[in-house]
Structure 1
Amino acid sequence: MNNDTNNFVSNVRNDMRGDAGIGNNEQQIEQITWILFLKVYYFREQHWALEEDDYQSIIPDKYQWNNWAANTKKNWNKTGEELINFVDDHLIPDLKNIPVNSHTPARQAIVPEIFSGISNHMQNGVLLRKVINDVDALDLTSTEGNDTVADIYEMILRSMQSQSNSGEYYTPRPLTDFITSHLHIHLGDRIGDFAVGTGGFLTSSLKILKKQVKTAHDIDTYNNSVFGKELHFLPFLLCVTNLFLHSVDNPDVIHGDSLSKNVDEYEDKDKFNVICMNPPYGQNKLETILNNFPYDLRSNELSDLFIILAMYRIKPQGRVGLILPDSFMFGTSPVKQHIKAKLFHDFNVKLIVRLPKGVFQPYTSINTNLVFFDNTHSTQKTWFYRVDLPKGMKQFTKTRPITHHTFKKVNEWLEAPEVIDNNGNKKAEQISIDQIKKRKYDLSYVGFGQHHAVIKDPMTLLNEYLTQKHQYDQKIAKLTKEVKDIFGSNDKND
């Protein structure tokens, strides 16, 4: 990050902190993002207009960036109460109500969808003008300028990690870069993330693909390479803006619930060559969601349901990289065993990487793991590798976060995997499927904790209890119905 990046973020945040309407970090992020979205969208439209003689903007002229926001002579006096009234009473409601239909291109239909969930939190029109001027000064016309804006955006996204209510939507870039670098991504692959958050896995994938673009046809392929779906509006907005910043002209990102469709209904067209995800943790509380999964795989843990979803939506020969909590690794409840049995039987689980403590600090202290598998054949053997903390550190923190250097040794090890045994403390080893089955799919290897002394966190224990209780309740209800049916038929015979 250079000084321009730091100065921009610092100036904008100071201005927003001085506004009575901005109450928290999440409102700051939403405010800066919708303003930046309009600037970036205007820049992309200039590009589209040069390429397409008949291009017509979906945004009315008076709401085009240069006609109200740009710091030009005709706009300089639009400030204070006049600016607030313009934004609150005209700009946002009118962009929200732009008519679209089935023929509207996705890159244009995204505008009213974005503004359907937007609010202007700022109440001071003078401070709002200062923020708009700072955004207007960003240079998107050069490669260097565009890189600076991308750095600024990444810095804004990274600030989400420290927020207890929004940190789940941001995955540290060293993680997304490491995972995508080992999924053998090629131009022509369709890459999906069904818990897309701010789009980190997609942009890491796009960085790999961009190096492979050589022709005009390759540009079209690049533009249609990634897909994301996100339940919550703010990360959806952040993801769309993120993709525009990476020159994706038709962001294929859906605002909706990835678990709302029965997994048996997915067809070949719904499947992907590559899936990479950091599924949400916590509990699913909706019976209707569980009904979308096979009976023996119905878990109350959201992360489990996303693992199953990945299994149903990966193409033959496809590759998957997931970030999963310890509850998946250690869990030996009936439903956990069924899920892992399907995973290891139907897919080739190649590698599991144990991450150090504090990767997602300060958002959560949950320990996590990376699971890589492909849709080629059943698992015969799986490599396990433990990433250790730098010397002198007990865990990663907000001020000392995970970095790309953290993965230097594992990257070197992956070039020629071998067992690493430090006086009985194994850092890397390969485990056969028979050994894994014998342990009831308890995957506590390479320092994951001794098998007999695994201490589960309270939330994991609660989720396992609720999952088993739910299954037993369903079995009791089924048996009760069968008994009633039997006695009911006997009464009729009498």
Structure 2
Amino acid sequence: MSIGTTIKTIQDIMRKDAGVDGDAQRINQLVWMIFLKVFDAREEEYELLEDNYKSPIPEGLRWRNWAADAEGITGDALLDFVDNALFKTLKELRTKATDDHGRMIGKVFEDAYNYMKNGTLIRQVINKLNEVDFNKKEQKKQFSEIYEKILKDLQSAGNAGEYYTPRAVTKFIVDRVKPQLGEIVLDPACGTGGFLTAAIDYIRQHFQSADVPEIL
């Protein structure tokens, strides 16, 4: 299933929830879910690389322990968990965390909000997100693709103040600029990272792989 189809399915699920009003709230709802899923994947890497790695997230609140199991907590129990345990604790990390990762999580959740009011629908959204594996290199572009898909929907509805530059346009411009190894690429109006991604692709295509550092 393509990422576009997955996001459309998630949007359709969210439309059934009385607490979510419009695409802007749907994208905000998705952001914190995707963040926790991606951070959990990164923590798997940290655990392999660092012998004494300790997660800033309490064990029971880590994505792997409450969201990863498709048959896990759902319904009213899930809604209560998200509103009264997950959000409450992660928001407190803004001031209580003693490490950079913890403070970052607290900052992300400082203005985050769980708009969904149906725990069964929350579980359905989570299970669809779990079909996307952000650990695979070829799927890392899906970060921007997810945002671009929702952003295009927002624009078509006429209720967004952000603008999406089509992939063909970013590729054309980067091909004309011809970025070189060692140069700094700046996208001052970076939204989905389309220009930066196109620049990375250009460099990887035009230079020997041994000369290109691991970028992402």
Please indicate the TM-score interval, normalised by the length of the shorter structure: 0.7 to 0.9
Does 2:86 align with 1:114? no
Residues 308-364 of structure 1: per-residue CA shift (max 9 Å, x gap) = xxxxxxxxxxxxxxxxxxxxxxxxxxxxxxxxxxxxxxxxxxxxxxxxxxxxxxxxx
1:168 to 162, 182, 198: 162
Aligned to 1:186: 180
Paired amino acid for 2:86? L
Cα distance in structure 2, aligned partners of 1:31 and 1:53: 34
Structure of greater Rg: 1
* Whole-angstrom CA distance in 2 between matches of 1:54 and 1:181: 45
In 2, distance between residues paired with 1:22 and 1:113? 23
Aligned residue for 2:64? 66
Q: CA deviation at 1:44?
A: 2.0
Question: Is the contact made by 1:38 and 1:65 (CA closer than 8 Å) also made in structure 2?
Answer: yes
AA at the equivalent of 1:123: K
Question: Which amino acid in structure 2 is aligned with residue 94 of structure 1?
Answer: T
| Distance change (3 Å), C-alpha of 1:178 and 1:31 | same
8 A Cα contact 1:185 1:208, kept in partner: yes
* Alpha-carbon offset, residue 174 of structure 1: 2.3
Looking at structure 2, the residues matched to 98 and 184 of structure 1 have their Cα atoms a distance apart, in angstroms, of 43
The equivalent residue for 2:122 is 128
CA contact (8 A) 1:9 1:152 kept: yes
- How far did residue 155 of structure 1 move? 2.3
| Counterpart position of 1:89 | 84
Identify which of 74, 79, 82 aligns with 1:79.
74
Q: Which runs of 4+ in 1 moved over 6 A?
A: none
Q: Aligned equivalents of 2:54 and 2:95: distance in 1?
A: 14
Summarize deviations over 1:114-162 as a string: whole Å, max 9, x none.
1112111111111111001111122234345556666445423432332
Question: How far apart, in 1, do the equivalents of 2:175 and 2:192 lie?
Answer: 19
Is the alpha carbon distance of 1:51 and 1:59 closer, same or farther for their aligned partners in structure 2, counting shifts above 3 Å?
same
Normalised by the length of structure 2, the TM-score is 0.81
Superposed displacement of residue 79, structure 1: 1.3
Report the CA distance shift for 1:131/1:56 in structure 2 as closer, same or farther (over 3 A). same
Indicate conservation of the 8 Å contact 1:29/1:156, yes or no.
Answer: yes
- 1:21 is matched with 19
8 Å CA contact 1:20, 1:123 repeated in 2: yes
Q: CA deviation at 1:100?
A: 6.4
Give, in whole Å, the separation in 1 of the partners of 2:198 and 2:212.
Answer: 21
Report the CA distance shift for 1:216/1:38 in structure 2 as closer, same or farther (over 3 A).
farther
Aligned positions, number: 214
Q: Is the 8 A contact 2:3 2:142 kept in 1?
A: yes
Q: Could you say which structure has the higher strand fraction?
A: 1
Structure 2 residue ranges without an equivalent (≥5): none
Preserved contact between residue 185 and residue 205 of structure 1 (Cα < 8 Å): yes
Letter in 2 for 1:184: K
- CA separation of 1:186 and 1:42: change in aligned 2, threshold 3 A: farther
Q: 1:108 and 1:207 mapped to 2: Cα distance?
A: 32
1:46 maps to: 44
CA contact (8 A) 1:171 1:200 kept: yes
- 2:18 counterpart letter in structure 1: A
Q: What SS is found at the alignment partner of 1:22? A: coil
Between Structure 1 and Structure 2, the one with more helix by share is 2
What letter is aligned with 1:79? T
Q: 1:161 to 1:81 in 2, by over 3 A?
A: same
Distance 1:216 1:41 in 2: 29
Indicate if the aligned counterparts of 1:96 and 1:116 stay in contact, CA closer than 8 A.
yes
TM-score by length of 1: 0.39
Kept in 1, the 8 Å contact 2:185–2:196? The answer is yes
Aligned amino acid, residue 79 of structure 2: I
Q: Distance in 1 between matches of 2:95 and 2:172?
A: 39
Alpha-carbon spacing, 1:164–1:148, altered in 2? closer, same or farther (3 Å): closer
Q: Is the 8 A contact 1:80 1:125 kept in 2?
A: yes
Deviation at 1:213, TM superposition (A): 7.7
| Whole-angstrom distance in 2 between the partners of 1:216 and 1:115 | 38
Structure 2 matches for 1:376-391, cutoff 5 A? none
Distance, in Å, in 2 between the alignment partners of 1:94 and 1:166 is 31
- Kindly report the root-mean-square deviation, in angstroms, between the aligned alpha carbons of the 2 structures: 3.0
**2: CA distance, partners of 1:210 / 1:42:** 28
Aligned partners of 2:144 and 2:194 also within 8 Å: no
Gaps of 5+ in 1: 223-246, 248-494
